Amino acid sequence: MSNRLVRNFTKPSAPSGKATRLQVPTLVTLKAAAVILSVSDVTMRRRVRNGSISAVRVEGRIYFEREALQLFVAEHSEPQWRPPGDDRS
């Protein structure tokens, strides 16, 4: 496992002094993240560069945590539009 990857994640606190393992989250490739968000690879790289989404570099490749993608969608999605008079919740 790459030392760079390990340094990007913190160890969870150990309950009652037991040794803990580093829990590495599921990582998604740049191309897969672009497909998930329905954007191009270039757009994903731009979002990483401007800091709007967090990413991890492993051996020069860009990966995203699933949680980071979910957070990005939650922060950047708009409420579903409803026509006036539609009072469904």
Burial 58-70 (b: 16+ CB within 10 A, else e): eeeebbbbeebbe
* Rounded-to-integer distance, Cα 52 and Cα 50, Å: 6
Q: What is the pLDDT of residues 5-48, one digit of tens each?
A: 434 444 445 555 555 555 556 899 999 999 989 999 999 999 99
Q: What pLDDT score was predicted for residue 24?
A: 54
Fold of 24-76: Multidrug-efflux Transporter Regulator; Chain: A; Domain 2 (1.10.1660)
Question: What's 40's DSSP letter?
Answer: -
pLDDT at 8: 45
Note the pLDDT of residue 16: 57
